[in-house]
Structure 1
Amino acid sequence: MITKSLYFSAVMALTCSIGFGQDAKKQQDIKSIKSMCGCYEVKFNFAETFQYPKDTLTYKPSPTKHESGLEWVELVEDTPNKIVMQHLLIVSDDMIIKHWRQDWLFENTDFYAFDKNTSWKYQKRDKKDVKGQWTQKVYQVDDSPRYEGSATWVHVDGQNYWTNTTDAPLPRREHTKRNDYNVLKRRNIHQITATGWNHEEDNDKLIRDNSGKDVLLAQEKGMDVYTKVPDIKCIAAQNWWKENTVLWKNVRDKWQTLFDRHKDLNLEAKVDKKALYSLLFDLKPDTKKADTDAIIDKFVK
């Protein structure tokens, strides 16, 4: 006979076991995410695979792209529910380019979904829809929003990966060259490997009208391969970040106040014929926060 006390003990044991399993899974997620930090030799590869234009005679597909570089991924913030990583591209010891940034948030419910052009729609999701998931929020070089999506990290058969589909602006490699589409639907896969990690993409180039209707123009395949190398090879980027960390924290903090309004976000592409990243990149490391705030405010409609 199962007594009331024995039943209670069994339920408590099962509850503790489930809780332990969930915590172990989360710690495994965190380990995978943070393993993307460090010094990497990166190969960027993109190829347009299929085209669906109405005018097939004049359409020009994007050329296949193969580029490489040395990149430092700095761990900027590390808390149980938020991990912030800044990518820094090393052109030379004297030329460091602040590249993209990725934030990982556990069971996040606040989203900025890309609409088209320079507009993002705020969305609030239910907690049950993101239970156990991590949101990857990707930012432009000036820390303005780019794209974000939520999904579960998978650890099975020796594989560790996260995959998500979400809308995004045109990639930097195309936004100054192409104006025949305005949304890139990204299928992102981040996979941890024995030598580093891969960022695999299967993307749709979409034409989105004001009613939200999409027309598929073309598709592309992307494969960015990050191969781990000794951290000392990225010492120039590490030193650059130490010198500029306060400036960019001020920029991130300003953007966060805008995100915390939980309202749709519409930005100007340029102000006085200059892009936001151009103005911020020209600033000295000791620029006051009031000055960076003022620059960003000019771009918010």
Structure 2
Amino acid sequence: MKQIAGLLVLILTCSSVGNAQNKKELDKEAIKKMCGCFEVTFNFTETFSYSEDSLYKPSKTKVDKGLEWAQLIEDTDNKLSIQHLLQVGNPSNPHIVKHWRQDWLFENTDFYMFNGDNAWLFETKEPSDVKGQWTQKVYQVDDSPRYEGSATWVHVDGKSYWENTTPAPLPRREYTKRSDYNVTLRGNRHEITTYGWVHDQDNDKVIREDGKDDVILAKEKGYNTYVKVDDSRCQAAADWWKEHQDKWANVRHKWDEVYSRNQDLTLASKVDNKLLFKYLFSDDISEEKDIDSVIESFVKK
């Protein structure tokens, strides 16, 4: 009987390991479906206002469209990295804009959580808290931090999706116009669809002050659709990346060194009245030593 019981335990254990491995491969397959050429529609509208100011004006509804190339730049057992590039202007001679980047890390335990005022708090989680989960780390156009969160990919009823809520900086469409709140609490849902994928958001516009409870100023709905089109339409973006990928690999390498310090991080908004991406987008900054120096100048000690 003991031998039979032991055999049953072994079978169940092997089955569990196999199922976990199959689940992980399903997760990776879903993430990789966010790569390729997409017609993107960005939709945002403020839904509810909680301001006590009678003169409060909600943000205008925003609808934008674009063509975006999502390039898989790293593919290992526990990490996938996707670089997004916008392709704009005349299709015969388009302009390429380096856009956001998303990294997906399996069972990651180290986090930089946004806390307002260009500051991120370093946090660690227990391995048991992230078992089977993937962390999505989202970066700015200059590969500085933006937001990150951990959750489980769900595959059920023919759907594949990932959901997480996490604090984030104001989006570019907001921080150039709004100063009445300083944190976006992002409710993110990434779902793979028959046409591509969708980034569904339910966001809180939050006022955060030290020693006080967060105050929700307003709520916002975001619904961004990524409709897959033939990769040939994004050939210009793919070619641009081949030409510039070495420079941006050096940028990521420097940021990885900064992140590996595993301590709270605060970044200067500007250095010599110039934004970080303005430095890094310049052809004048291309050597590794210059990249390192520029990035370090924005890191507050």
Report SS of the residue matched to 1:96: strand
Partner of 2:9: 11
Q: How does 1:59-98 map to 2 (within 5 A)?
A: 59-92=56-89, 93-98=93-98
Q: How does 1:152-301 map to 2 (within 5 A)?
A: 152-283=152-283, 287-301=286-300
- Paired positions, count: 297
The CA deviation at 1:165 is 0.2
**Counterpart pick for 1:50 among 48, 51, 62:** 48
TM-score (norm 1): 0.97
TM-score (norm 2): 0.97
* Closer/same/farther in 2, CA of residues 10 and 149 from structure 1, 3 Å limit: same
The CA deviation at 1:54 is 1.9
Q: After TM superposition, where is structure 1 displaced by more than 4 Å over at least 4 residues in a row? A: none
Unaligned ranges ≥5, structure 2: none
The CA deviation at 1:4 is 1.9
Report SS of the residue matched to 2:273: coil
Unaligned ranges ≥5, structure 1: none
The CA deviation at 1:212 is 5.0
Cα RMSD between the aligned structures? 0.9
Residue identity in the other structure for 1:228: K
Alignment partners' CA distance in 1, 2:7 and 2:210: 59
Alignment partners' CA distance in 1, 2:184 and 2:113: 12
Could you give the per-residue CA deviations for residues 251-277 of structure 1, whole angstroms, max 9, x where no partner exists?
A: 001000011010000000001111001
Alignment partners' CA distance in 2, 1:284 and 1:273: 17
Alignment partners' CA distance in 2, 1:169 and 1:207: 12
* Percent of aligned pairs with the same amino acid: 57
Report SS of the residue matched to 1:78: strand
The CA deviation at 1:7 is 1.5
Which region of structure 1 is more displaced relative to structure 2, 85-94 or 12-21? 85-94
Alignment partners' CA distance in 1, 2:15 and 2:154: 20
